[in-house]
Every structure is written in structure tokens, then in C-alpha cells.
Structure 1
Amino acid sequence: MDSTSPSYKGHRYPVEVIAHCVWLYFRFPLSFREVEELMLQRGVIVSYETVRRWCAKFGQAYANGLRSRRPRPGDTWHLDEVFIKVNGERKYLWRAVDADGTVLDILIQNRRDTAGARRFFRGLLKKACSVPRVVVTDKLRSYSAAHREVMPSVEHRSHKGLNNRAENSHQPTRQRERAMKGFRSVGGTQRFLSAFSGISPHFRPRRHLMTAAHYRVEMTIRFAIWDQITGATAPPTAA
């Protein structure tokens, strides 16, 4: 097991089973019960509640491990916010990506005012451990006010047409929101999307820019990285 992988002490299931269930849940639009069914088909009996606990315990740790393996983010950051429904109430999901579309940070807040933008900027700088050369946003005035307070030395480009990368990065979240039939709580949604934004993109290379052979090689590398950060060796096989 890799020295940086989480501890599985006290768990009776093999690491490979735990990591595989977490991968299934965060990579595909599956419910915990559907993961349970897929594992049963492979000869592994595990309850959906156990899968839920594994995802809650290890999802963020796996996402952090994957983020630690990524190269330093580019110097152009794209920021955007979109409303989501949490338990029937409107909330705002703030997201930052770099020029390659890599998610740098997400934050759910009640408002999209200057205080919200300021909080998001500060958390983003802390998590990224770097300062960009340029930030690109839409024309929401809250961005300009927060930018002047938090990162005045960084160039700010406010133009809706330049921010397609951030807007496009919301699509996987929208797909998952529909599959889950909405989110239930702010804290649970924040935890899920934080892990989801770290795990799911790892297995979504820009396939349209690759040949089939290149794609297979790239995915082999990414699965190897996954095995390293989880401590797994291979997905479970049928009994």
C-alpha cells in the first residue's frame, strides 16, 4: 500500500472493494443501491449503507490524493456561479477552473453578493496555494468589488463570452443533480461536490482531442494513479 493512501484499519472488506465502490459512485451517475447491485453481480455482497459510509469517509481523501498529483494550475483562472436547488431552496454554487478546465475549488453559498465573492476568492487562493496572472469572470459586479479587495494586483477580465470554460464545467454537476433527483442539504452537497470535482474529472480526459490508442494509454496511467492513492491494486473480480 502506498504510504500516502488512507488507513483502512478496522475495515473487514479488502481495499480493492472499497476503492472500487467509491470509484463507481463518483465516476458514474449511480445511486448507492445501484453500486450495491453492480457489486453483487461481481460476487461481492455489500450493503448500500456500507457503500454510503465508504464514500463519505474516503471520497474526499481520494480526491485530495488526486489533486496532490496534478501539475500546478495555469495562471489564468475562470470563475463562475450557478444556482442549484438544495432541499427545494435556491443556493449558489461558485466554481473556479484553470485554462485546462481543471476544477480548482467549489463553494456553495446562499447569495452571490460581494461578501460571497470575497469568501470564495480567499478560500480559492488558500486551496490553490498560488496567485493567478488573470481571473476571468462574467459581468457580475460582486466579482469586481471582491477582486479589488482580495487580489488587486491580478488582472481581471469581465466578459461573459470569455468564460465558457467555467460555464461548461458545471455540466457534470447538472447531470449528477438530475440523477440524484436534487440535493438534500448544504453540508452534504458541499462534501459530495468537493469529492466529486476531484475524482470524476480524473477519469474524464479530453477524449475528443485524442486518438483511441492515446486515450487507452492515458486511462491506463490514470487508473494506475488511482490505485496508488487508494492503495488498491485492481478492481475486484467475481467469486
Structure 2
Amino acid sequence: MRDEIYSQPHTQVDDFTFDNSVVEVFPDMIQRSVPGYATIVSTIGKLCEQFHQANSNIYDLGCSLGAATLSMRKSVTKENCKIIGIDNSQAMIDRCRLHIKAYMSDVPVSIELGDIQTHSLENASVVVMNFTMQFIEPEHRAQLVKKIYDSLLPGGILIVSEKIRWQDSKINDAINNLHLDFKRANGYSELEISQKRSAIENVMKIDTEQMHIERLAAAGFKQHSIWFQCFNFASFIAIK
């Protein structure tokens, strides 16, 4: 279904939430808003194939409709692995479970409603946060990354995909303008762009590349890097 949530003027633009209206259009919304999204999702599966370990858990934190979960599920070849998707939106969880059931596989998947900051994580070989960290309160992000690090087996990986910003205002504006052109080219009007920005600015706090790298290092990761970037969207890998 096409994303037309902000196509008409809103008398009041409420903060963005992952409710039923967003669930209905989410695949279209993210494809038209996030450059390189399909590449990120498919490559998460490839990275999972490289790094998952037998007898371990694979986590998709903030799993939304299960795109990363399904990508990883196709790539699991080692025995006794389980994928656990966690999200705090009941609407997302309900639809995600339907998506998982639609694709047959011997790899067990559990989709759970919960807060990733308090949900237990253990015996993990792969942890994915695909555009999730930006919705965590900034002061809680370091603690969450440390929790993930502690849950990982030696040689396990964390993948974090995020929108990023630059400290230099001219660079930041130039790259933001490229992203706006991307959205216009995908059919979003100036009204839609403006109203979506108003809806999301209070709930999505984005970091610089350096902030992500410093947070990963502080948690204990010795190896970490951006593996993908398109405009102001990037994905990081960190290996324990």
C-alpha cells in the first residue's frame, strides 16, 4: 500500500508512532525514504551467513515487519540456531508474525513484544539493530550497546544501521539536500516531507558517525567500521 499518511494537511502533526496506519504502508514508506535499504537488508543476511554460530541466538532488535529477520533466516546454515525478533509496537509484531508464517523454513523464529532495553539477551552470535538505535533515548544508548556486547559470543557481531548527521553544518546541509531530492524523486511532495519531518523530529535523535564508533569502542568492540553508506544513511559492523 502506498504511503499517503502526510499527503493531506494536518491541523496538528502528532509525534510519529509505529501504529496501524504506519504498519499498513511501512514497506513503501521505508523504500521511498531510505536510500540503499534493500541493499542493507540483503547484506545483513550475507553477514549473518558469515558470522552466525551453531547453538546460538540471532537477534533482530526493533524487528518491525521482519525484513532483516527474514533475510537472516534464509542464510542460517548451522545447527541449533534461533532467531529472536523484538519490537515494542504491537501493530508491528502482529503483522511481523504473519510475514514469518508466510515463509516456510526449518530455522525457528520467535517474534516477541518487548522493550529491547530490558529484554534479556544471551548466547548471541549476531545482533541486528536496523534503524532502531535512533529511537532510543540518547542517554540510554551506550548502556544498550554494552548490554549487546556482553550478550555476544566471541567472534559475534553487532550490525547497526542508522541515519547519521555531520557536525559541519555545510556538509550536513548538502547531504540532507541529497536525501530530500531522493524523497522527491520517489514521489513525496513538499507537504509530505515537511509534515513527516515535524512528526519525527521529537522522536528520532540521530548521531554522528564518530559518536557511533566511540560508543562501540567504549562497549568493548575492538573491530568496528561502516560497511555501507548512501547519503546520510549508514550501517556499521562491530565484531567482538
Q: Highest relative contact order (Cα 8 Å, sep 6+), 1 or 2?
A: 1
Larger radius of gyration: 1
TM-score of the pair, normalised by structure 2: 0.31
TM-score with structure 1 setting the length: 0.31
More helix by share: 1
